[in-house]
Amino acid sequence: MRVKREHFRSPKDLPVVEYVTPGSPLCAGCGGLTTLRLMHKVLGENVVVVNAAGCMTLMAVYPFTPLKSSWLYTTMGSAAAGAQGVRDALDVLIERGKLDAADDLQVLVLAGDGSTYDMGLSATSGAIHRGLNFWYLCYDNQAYGNTGFQMSAASPLGSRTATSHSGAVQRRKDIFELWRAQRPPYVATVSSHDAVDLAEKVERARGLNGPKLFLSLAVCPTGWGFDPELSDEIAKLAIETGVWPLKEAVDGAVRHTYVPNRFRPVEEYLRPQHRFAHLFEPQRDEELLTRIQQNVDDYWAPVLAEPVANA
Amino acid sequence: MSRQLLTGNAAAAWGARLADVDYIPAFPITPQTEIIETLAAWSQAGELPGRFVTFDGEHSMLTAAGAAAAAGARTFTATSSQGLLFGMESLYTISGWRVPLVLVNVSRGLSAPITLGPDHNDVLAARDAGFVQIHAETCQEVLDSILMGYRIAEDRRVSVPVLVNLDGFYLSFTREPVDVPDEAAVREFLPPFDFEHLGFRASRPIAQGVAVLEGATYSHFRYQMHRAIQNAAAVHAEATVEFSRLFGRSYAAIEQYRVEDADTVLVMAGSFAAKGKAAVDQWRADGRRVGLLRLRVVRPFPAAELAAALSGRRAVGVIDQNLSPGVGGIFCQELAAALYSVPDRPPVLRSFVTGLGGKDISQSEFDHVLSVLDAAQSGDPVTDTELLMTAAEWQQVQGRLASARRPVEDNAPLPTDSDDVRAAVRAEFEDARGGVS
Amino acid sequence: MIRIRFHGRGGHGVKTASRILGTAAFLAGFETQDSPVYGAERRGAAVTAFARISETPIRERGMIAQPDLIVLADDTLLNDPAAGVLVGQETASAIFLNAADPAPLVAQYHIAPPARAFDVTARTRELLGRPSALSAGVASAAAKLCGCITEANLEAAVREEFSHLAVSPDAVTKNVEIALSVFAALEPAVLSDVPRAATAEMARVPYVDPVLGASTVYNSGNAEQRHTGAWRVERPVIDAGLCTRCGLCFVECPDGAMSLDATGLPLVDYDHCKGCMICSHVCPVDAITHQPETAAW
């Protein structure tokens, strides 16, 4: 079941114009790049991307940039602070007549889960606390992908990474809730699979002044171990199994923007990915598979119990 | 112009105010806090047109400072000690962006053990960060160096950040008379920042801080930072002429105090140089030909000026308020390198370390330095850095060490107590060699 | 000393190939070095790896600009000047081409060193059922051309290196089989020690304005100048007759390597399409087919 859409009804409604040119050295089939490209389309051209160290840092390798907008690489731990510096500078320069108001830009932090969940959390929490008016796109591929896929605080239970050979045993941080706890005006999860939902959310958030998180499940053929052709399929399975709920929180009030009519078993999402292969071979890890399914069920139970289920 | 009694911290705040900065990202740390408190108060009173924002830590604060400068804002920020180290990654980042700003560091000794008193190990940890670095001796010089700092940083022959250092407590909390220049005169000295080549604007997108994955191009960019900071020497000299014309005060890269005919010269930096000058005056009164050089501009390192000023002297003593463990005083190392190719370099060069964690330096210690220099002969092997400490101070230290031990252990010897472990090791080595041959 | 330079694409296994060769030479008792070069490049992008084999201690490090042997896993890299396959070919005693017939490539690309060839891709596909992991075959070709590696050393090295990878025992066996068949099919190269010129002029690097003194790119969107089309293994081909103009493929292309014409028909930008084939997978009416990209596959 889908919430009513106000701005975009089908992929055909999305802007045709591109602000991210091809020619970047990112992996074929990168879900994070799809998300950035789609988000940028809806944001429009006047954007400055403030980047934290991660896969996307290598979008722009001297002397090239794929962005038709602006870019500032900062550090892994302080992209949100860099966004604050840029936002404040634009504001004060316009206020003081040193910059034409027509030259104003929207500030977008672009960070992976390693920066978002781990090293950059203090800087981000500070920016939320200060009510900074900025967009934040986290391309969450659930590990330190750029260094070769090591475990991060976003790595899901059971995921094999280069530093968790038998699978992550921790519960991943719920960064959506960590953000929401500070009551920014907008927090959303998005997926490259549902471009219309993503576009709709950007449009809904546009008028809100303050921190706006877009947490995207960045399907990662290289790190997760599947053929790039399946990128969209895996992203879709994450949604249809309930592993990746599509939702938003406006001023803290959560609603799900899509609820599968019939949840597919989590196994269907796990099985095609090499990072979960050890759950199936050489023998099925029944206990862990049950736990993973149970975690998903436990997440959705109260959501589905709501009387007007997010209509 | 008005003459006011200002602390070094207040003088720093005045420097930022007179520079008409657009942006001040801030975070408190002793002994710098008064700077940001002063600026916050002015900002809240509507006396400061720029924007004041507090951050979640120095790493964020410095990133924001650099990002704002990259966006074209004239930016001021300040920190100290652990804060400078916590923000160290950002220092390298923003100098790599080649953006101008002024960062004030209020020197304080580093942890562990955590302390509050000043020394220069914090600021010298940043000596390779790609900042121009100026060390002030007086509160007046703090204010003046900030104004000069913006002029140097914003010059396209330089375009790197400037760090102005003042000593915690000895300057930060000490009031002394300071001439606060008129705004109009400052405007003449420091016109608005022309950020044409920087800045993010809708009409001209740019990508700054782009990754460079190829060594030759990376080498080029890093080398440009070196050349930029070298250029700062001439730009500083130009700024000095203009500053002197407008405000009547003049600053060279090194201050030469009574060195005209000196056979012996002390080299110092920061506020303790004032005490060094007093010692020089006393020795001069006794008929000794002693002078003092104060390092003001530390990056670019004024190697040529130092070589010229010290050429032909008999003895040089460097009093470092810092310690590079395993090497000794840092400025002494850098000075030795600067003197290496000078034909009539001073035959005697000695390294002394004092003032760590704010330890005072007394006339007796200066006298000891002079006696060591007097006794040293040309050709003597260069000895290790000597830690200056009076017997009375050492006695007090020993009392504290004793208090820290459990009473039952008081008299028990410790396994590695030795006057000089190195000497013991060397003796063992000599014995062993003797046995072999 | 024999200096060997491997060229391939991310996923081909040229790093593993350099390690297999290094291990084989080590087992044979030589001084040896092997190393990959890491960049921003991803699966499908050009990758280079190196090996040095010597009877005396090796006083060289890093990249090999003047190789004795060039080993090329994918001839489409000859189209990419940035890959630098033929850089330093003047000193090379031989080049190995992963192809059934080297003659057309030698003629087309003016390849100077004597060329040896074997269709490693075909052999790999035959035994493993997929053509991507070429490491065993390519390493074996290099080992044979070097002339100083025995079959036993090679086999042991393949087993050793594959033991570090998460592959089945069956796959190891098949890779050994690939390696040995390539080894048997080739002859050692005639290695001649071409003198290395060492008289480069030095530059004096001046101060430049900050516009060129910082890693700032003012030419926005210029990544388009980089053609990533050569990364493709397969090419998506759109059947305009079947296409319903739904736009899904256009929306889901990560790289924006697709555009829509006035009628809404999607057009693939083959200069940039990396061949992920998401477009084909998302097409609701199967109007986008896979076509093998090059003869190498």
Touching subunits for chain A (3+ Cβ pairs under 8 A)? B, C
| Distances, alpha carbon A211 to alpha carbons A47, A129, A173, A207, C71, in Å | 15, 9, 19, 12, 52
Q: Say if residue C6 is in the same domain as residue C137.
A: yes
Domain carrying residue B308: 254-392
Residues C23-47 have a mean pLDDT of 86
Q: In the predicted model, is pLDDT for residue B213 greater than 60?
A: yes
Q: Which of B225, B247, B269 is the last residue of a domain?
A: B247
Q: Is residue A311, in this structure, part of any structural domain at all?
A: no
Residue B436 clears pLDDT 60, i.e. is over it: no
Q: A190 and A215 in contact (C-beta within 8 Å)?
A: yes
* Chain segment A104-129, per-residue pLDDT in tens: 999 999 999 999 999 999 999 999 99
CATH number at residue B223: 3.40.50.970
- Residue A4 in domain: no
Q: Which of A18, A27, A69 sits opposite C256 (nearest CB)?
A: A18
Compute the Cα dihedral for C94, C95, C101, C107 and give only its sign: negative
**Searching chain A, which residue's CA lies closest to the CA of residue B201?**
A103
Could you tell me if B242 and B261 lie in one domain?
no
Q: Is B216 on the interface with C (CB under 8 A)?
A: no
pLDDT for C270: 96
pTM of the predicted model over 0.90:
yes
What pLDDT score was predicted for residue B405?
86
ipTM: 0.95
* Residue C199 confidence (pLDDT) above 60: yes
Residue B139: pLDDT over 70: yes
Count of pairs with CB atoms under 8 A, one residue in A, one in B = 167
- How many percent of chain B have pLDDT more than 90? 89
**C136 inside domain:** yes
Q: Is residue B208 part of a domain?
A: yes
CB contact under 8 A, C220 and B231: no
- Domain hosting residue C73, numbered range: 2-185
Q: Which of A114-123, B280-289, B415-424, C106-115 has the lowest mean pLDDT?
A: B415-424
Span B79-94, mean pLDDT? 98
The answer to whether residue B136 is domain-embedded is: yes
β-pairing, A253-258 vs A246-250, is antiparallel
Could you tell me if C35 and C115 lie in one domain? Answer: yes
Identify which of B306, B290, B312, B322 has the alpha carbon closest to the alpha carbon of residue B253: B306
Give the nearest chain C residue to B159 (CA atoms): C210
* Same domain (yes/no): B228, B275: no
Mean of per-residue pLDDT scores for chain A: 96
Weakest-pLDDT range from B6-10, B27-31, B308-312, C167-171: C167-171
Q: What is the predicted pLDDT for the residue at A310?
A: 47
The pLDDT score that the predictor gives to residue A3 is 86
Query: What's the average model confidence in pLDDT over B386-390?
Result: 96
Q: Is the pLDDT of residue A75 over 70?
A: yes
* Shared-domain flag, residues B354 and B261: yes
Q: Are residues C156 and C241 in the same domain?
A: no
Q: Could you give the CA distance from residue B219 to residue B222 in angstroms, rounded to a whole number? A: 5
**B238, B302: one domain:** no
CB-based contact B22 A103, cutoff 8 Å: no
**Residues B220 and B258 reside in one and the same domain:** no
Shared domain check, B268 and B156: no
Whether C40 and B211 lie within 8 Å, measured CB to CB: yes
Note whether B284 and B316 are same-domain residues. Answer: yes
- Whether B234 and B304 map to the same domain: the answer is no
- Nearest chain A residue to C277 by CA: give it: A229
With an 8 Å Cβ cutoff, are B206 and C220 in contact? yes
Looking at residues B358-367, what average pLDDT do you find? 96
Considering the domain architecture, whether residues C145 and C35 belong to the same structural domain is answered as yes
Task: Report pLDDT for B437.
Answer: 45
What is the band of B420 on the pLDDT scale with cuts at 50, 70, 90? low
Is the domain of C126 the same as that of C234? Answer: no
The verdict on residue A310 lying in a domain is no
Instruction: Give a yes or no: residue A3 inside a domain.
Output: no
In a domain, C220, yes or no: no
Please check the confidence at residue B378 and state whether its pLDDT lies above 80.
no
Q: What is the mean pLDDT of residues C92-121?
A: 95
Give the three-class secondary structure for B16.
helix
Q: Is residue B35 part of a domain?
A: yes
pLDDT for position B384: 86
| pLDDT at B410 (0 to 100) | 63
Q: What is the CATH number of the domain that holds C286?
A: 3.30.70.20
Looking at the fold, whether B141 and B206 belong to one and the same domain comes out as yes
Structurally, how many domains does chain B consist of? 2
CB-based contacts of C117: which residues, under 8 Å, 6+ apart?
A: C96, C97, C98, C99, C100, C101, C102
Task: Examine residue C161 and state whether it is found in any structural domain, yes or no.
Answer: yes
Q: Is residue B38 part of a domain?
A: yes
Residue B19 touches partner A, C-beta closer than 8 Å: no
pLDDT at A308: 61
Q: Is residue A102 part of a domain?
A: yes
Check whether residue B262 and residue B242 sit in a common domain.
no
C216 in any annotated domain: no
Kindly report the CA angle at B170 between B167 and B174, in degrees rounded to 5? 120
Q: Which residues of A touch C217 (CB under 8 A)?
A: 60, 62-65, 71
Residue C296 above 50 pLDDT? no
H/E segment holding residue A47: strand A47-51
Residue B111 contacts residue B199 (beta carbons within 8 Å): no
Of all residues in chain C, the one with the smallest CA distance to B218 is C215
A19, A21, A46, A48, best to mutate vs chain B, most B CBs in 10 Å: A48
Q: What pLDDT, on a 0 to 100 scale, did the predictor assign at position C295? A: 43
Residues C7 and C86 in one domain: yes
**B96 at interface of A, judged by CB pairs closer than 8 A:** no
Mean per-residue pLDDT of chain C: 92
Residue A285 lies in domain: 11-305
Residues C253, C128 share a domain: no
Q: How many CB atoms lie within 10 A of CB A268?
A: 12
What was the pLDDT predicted at A215? 98
B362 assigned to some structural domain = yes
Whether residue A1 lies inside any domain: the answer is no
Q: Which residues of B touch C211 (CB under 8 A)?
A: 197
Of B406 and B307, more confident: B307
Residues B225 and B320 in one domain: no
Show the CA angle centred on residue C235, arms to residues C232 and C238, nearest 5°. Answer: 150
- Give yes or no: residues C248 and C151 share one domain: no
Residue range B30-48, pLDDT digits in tens: 999 999 999 999 999 999 9
Q: What is the pLDDT of residues B152-176, one digit of tens each?
A: 999 999 999 999 999 999 999 999 9
Specify if C209 maps to a domain: no
Is residue B44 within 8 Å of B26, Cβ to Cβ? no
Q: Which of A149-158, A237-246, B253-262, C77-86 has the lowest mean pLDDT?
A: C77-86
Query: Do C273 and C140 fall within a single domain?
Result: no
* CATH code, A36: 3.40.50.970
Last residue of a domain, one of B191, B224, B247: B247
Q: Using one digit for the tens of pLDDT, what is the confidence trace for C230-273?
A: 888 899 999 999 999 999 999 999 999 999 999 999 999 999 99
Confidence of residue C291 (pLDDT cuts 50, 70, 90): very high
**Mean pLDDT across B24-33:** 97
Looking at beta carbons, which residues of chain C come within 8 Å of B157? 207
CA-nearest of C44, C90, C71, C62 to C255 is C44
The structural domain count of chain A equals: 1
Torsion angle of C-alpha atoms C125, C127, C128, C133, degrees rounded to 10:
-60
Residue B164 near residue B157, CB atoms below 8 Å: no
Q: Can you give the CATH number for the domain in which C170 is found?
A: 3.40.920.10
Token pair for residue B85? 């180290």
pLDDT > 70 fraction of chain B, expressed in percent and rounded: 95
Residue B414 belongs to some domain of the structure: no
Indicate if C178 and C236 belong to the same structural domain: no
Distances in whole angstroms, Cα of residue A252 to Cα of each of A80, A99, A122, C58, C291: 20, 35, 20, 64, 49
Whether B107 and B189 map to the same domain: the answer is: yes
Question: Both C134 and C267 in a single domain?
Answer: no
pLDDT of C167 reads 82
| Number of domains within chain C | 2
B210 with C39: Cβ contact below 8 A = no
Give whole-number Cα distances, A302 to A283, A293, A306, A308, B339, in Å. 33, 15, 6, 12, 76
Q: Which residues neighbour A54 within 8 Å (Cβ) at sequence distance 6 or greater?
A: A76, A111, A112, A114, A115, A139, A145, A146
Give which of C205, C215, C224 to mutate to test B binding, by max B Cβ within 10 Å.
C215
Q: In chain A, which residue's Cα lies nearest the Cα of B217?
A: A62
**Interchain CB distance below 8 Å, B157 and C207:** yes
